[in-house]
Amino acid sequence: MICGFCSKEIPDEVGLNSCGGCGSRCRKIHCPYCGYANPAPGKLLGRLLQPKKKKEES
Amino acid sequence: MHDEVTQPKIVLIGNPNVGKSVLFNVLTGSYTTVSNYPGTSVEVSRGRCRIADRTYEVLDTPGMYSLMPITEEERVARKILLDDRPHILLHVVDARNIERMLPMTLQLIEAGQPLILVVNILDEAERLGMKFDLPQLQKNLGIPVVGTVMKRRQGLDDLQRIISSYQGPPPPAEPYAADLEADIVRLAGFLTAEYPLGARATAILLMQRDQEVEELVQREEGDGFPLIAPVLHSIKFSRRADLNLQISLERKRHTRKMLDGALSQEVADQLPFSERLSRLAMNPITGVPLLLLVLYFGLYQFVGNFGAGILVDFLEGTLFEEYINPAAISFLNGLTDTYWLRELLAGEYGLWTLGVRYAIALILPIVGTFFLVFSILEDTGYFPRLAMLVDRVFKQIGLSGRAVIPMVLGFGCDTMATMVTRTLETKRERVIATILLALAIPCSAQLGVILGLLSVVPGSLMVWLLVMIGVFLLIGFLSAKVLPGDNPVFYMEIPPMRLPQLRNVLVKTLTRMQSYFLEILPLFLVASVILWAGKMSGLLDVVVEGMTPVVTALGLPPQASAAFIFGFFRRDFGAAGLYDLQTAGLLSPTQLTVAAVTLTLFVPCIAQLLMMKKERGLKTALAIFFFVSLLAFSTGWALNKFLLTTGILS
């Protein structure tokens, strides 16, 4: 995922583990470089977001 | 096994998405293995290649942005540099963004690495009007440089030839500005052990507070470290405010010097539109009008008039009022004859009437339109430019451009934005940002409802906007005067501006709407139950009565108390309460403006209060809570007197 603020690539491993800080169930990925809260799409929306990449990988 | 140990290593390094993996595959063919780096979940690809009768082991490292790691990937990439001692290091850069990537090349030269610079994706850079003189760049840098289009294997022969004839490590790095250079040389002079990154780069990383490097130096220097520690401490302290900025500026200066004569670009009037727009967005003379245009069309017209006006009118006024509500209420009332249960389900503060209706018919269309605008702006790369634009103003109120991140996120949800204030560098900045978020940054739903309500009353929106900006700047300025501490320094790499991608925008908008809705619906339902319980027990009347003198002092009708009580549960819940008052015709233009101003400034909701306690501590959170409450009502009172006296909105 590319951070919506600094445009740096957020490693997959950062994932949702970095969130949960506010106790709500928001799905957000905080960029490790700038701290910006990026929306983390669920499975269905996530698939829509990166179909091309997956095809290339396979 | 013996063969593996003796093979020289070629390590590929560079930012993500510059074509490292393509180069790795081209070099190694199909003989590759992918495994996790020991002790981590980070994958590293290894393979072999044969160049001029010599076999090399090739490693593809995870993407990294600098030698100072932030993520686990970067840590692994640096560890490979430290531990694997490459024979040749291929730094792969994207030619289109060479100015942003060359500072890492300079860092690697500083670290004395056996470096070859691979300028990849040359074809697309040339399409953008960039013309490279790579022999000149090679001369400037003092290391071999090869231009490639690796997806077409263009430049592969040159690269292999350079690898096979590689002569050795790069020349010494260029010195920085005199004062900085003196500190680096002084600290490096104390380092007696042999470091994989060399004494100079190690000294710079020490000064930049790299914990891993400090531990390495402690281990390597052993008994000698107590001699280094006071020097290091003194340099860190004297340069605590701006060291990273100074190093970054120096590297940028060197980068420009290295590119001098090696890269020519089309003249300014032929620059790509995105680059011209980017410059306009950051220049105060053009950036402020551009920001006002964004606010006018994005927030006022689209979120306020379209989202909070047309969409809400349709959903709430037509769909719910005429079709869904009568059927739903009749169905729910038909389920039971018990009065309290009917009240709970579909009464004045019932689950359906308040919880579901507010969430779906009022808030969802507003946050939906807001998130759409937000995602479009985000996808264009406008926000970092906004950060640069407001940096100068923010400095006057004790903040830096970095605070744009929580402020912008606050328009989505203040609770989450309060958590993000932890990314600000100084405690002073974190406290000021927390106060301003609690006070003057309305969340998207609240903002949307207020824009929708006030836009129908001429002048009202302007009064609200001026009060909000005035309070934001005044309180920020006073906080900066009262709270001790250094002024923060802000710098960031500006990523390229781009056309928003429809798929990105839609997915981000829908994801934000989904998570927002799932977050607010249960809260709205719980708030409905609490209000219902308050109504049934009579406690709500007591609270409303208790608030009535305060509310009437603001010139508002007693019924407005409920909106303030709602607002304490959620800011957006309170704004929806205000919407009900307005549609019931209970507010004059002056009252509407005063109520909107007071409610926007009003205390943070429960969730934000809890987050403030978590982030800033109980004492600070309570102090902010009482300060904000007092200021909200004082401002509302003063505004009411002012508007009545001047008759501006009469």
Is B413 an interface residue toward A (CB < 8 Å)?
yes
Task: Return the structure tokens found at B528.
Answer: 């409905």
Chain B interface includes A16 (CB < 8 A)? no
- Sequential DSSP letters for B463-528: HHHHHHHHHHHHHHHHHHHHS--PPP----PPPPP-PPPHHHHHHHHHHHHHHHHHHHHHHHHHHH
**Between chains, do B423 and A21 touch, taking CB under 8 Å as contact?**
no
- B178-279: same fold as B2-164? no
Q: What is the pLDDT of residue A18?
A: 44
Select from B502, B384, B495 the least CA-distant residue to B94: B495
CB pairs under 8 A between A and B: 104
User: Using the beta-carbon criterion (under 8 Å), do A7 and B381 form an inter-chain contact?
Assistant: yes
- Is this prediction's ipTM beyond 0.85? no
Please name the fold of domain B178-279. Answer: Helix Hairpins (1.10.287)
d(CA B543, CA B567) in angstroms, rounded, equals 14
Chain A closest-CA separation from residue B13 CA (Å): 15
Residue contact B503–A30, C-beta within 8 A: no
Rounded Cα–Cα distance for residues B639 and B463 (Å)? 9
Q: Does the beta carbon of B519 lie under 8 angstroms from any beta carbon of chain A?
A: yes
Contact between B105 and B141 (Cβ < 8 Å): yes
Of B17, B62, B416, the CB nearest to A26: B416
Residue of B415, B503, B514 lying closest to A24 (CB–CB)? B415
Q: Which residue has the tokens 């020490």?
A: B206
Q: What pLDDT was estimated at residue B639?
A: 95
Exposure letters B608-645 (e unless 16+ CB within 10 A, then b): bbbbbbbbbeeebbeebbeebbebbbebbbebbeebee
User: For B2-164, which CATH class?
Assistant: alpha beta
Question: CA of A23 to nearest chain B CA: how many angstroms apart?
Answer: 9
Label the pairing between strands B263-264 and B145-147.
unpaired
- In one-letter notation, the amino acid at residue B14 is G
Nearest CA-CA distance, residue A34 and chain B, Å? 7
Distance (Å, whole) CA B102 – CA B19: 16
Q: Is A35 on the interface with B (CB under 8 A)?
A: yes
Distance of alpha carbon B58 from alpha carbon B116, whole angstroms: 14
CB-nearest partner of B512 from A21, A34, A39: A39
Q: Does A24 touch chain B (CB under 8 A)?
A: yes
* Chain A touched by B515 (CB under 8 Å): yes
Decide: helix, strand or coil at residue B193.
coil
Strands B145-147 and B131-132: what pairing?
Answer: unpaired
Q: B370 and chain A: CB distance < 8 Å anywhere?
A: no
Least CB-CB distance to A39: which of B16, B508, B610? B508
Residue found under tokens 């430049």: B155
pLDDT of residue B289: 94
Domains of chain B, by residue range, sit at 2-164, 178-279, 284-646
Three-state secondary structure call for residue B606: helix
* Pick among A14, A17, A28, A54 to test the B interface (most B CBs inside 10 A): A28
How does pLDDT run across A1-58, given as a tens digit for each residue? 889 998 888 887 665 554 555 555 557 788 888 888 888 887 777 776 665 544 443 3
Dihedral of the alpha carbons of B341, B345, B347, B350, in degrees to the nearest 10: 120
Interchain contact B421–A (C-beta under 8 A): no
Specify the pLDDT at position B2.
Answer: 44
- Average pLDDT, consecutive stretches of 10 residues, N- to C-terminus, chain B (650 residues): 67 92 88 81 88 91 90 90 90 92 93 94 88 94 94 92 87 87 93 91 92 92 90 86 83 91 72 84 92 90 87 89 89 87 87 86 87 93 91 85 86 83 84 92 84 83 92 92 76 84 90 83 86 88 87 89 81 82 87 92 81 88 92 94 88
| CB-CB neighbors (< 8 A) of A6 in chain B | 384, 492-493, 495
What residues in B contact A28, CB-CB < 8 Å?
Answer: 416, 515
B415 to chain A: closest CA residue: A22
B619 touches chain A (CB under 8 A): no
What lies within 8 Å, CB to CB, of B168 at 6+ separation is: B114
CB contact under 8 A, A35 and B420: yes
Closest partner CB to A13 (pick from B17, B72, B607): B72
Say whether residue B62 is in contact with chain A using an 8 A CB cutoff: yes
- Alpha carbon separation from B178 to B182, B230, B240, B250, B440 (Å, rounded): 6, 21, 18, 11, 44
Taking an 8 Å cut-off on Cβ atoms, the answer to whether A13 and B415 are in contact is no
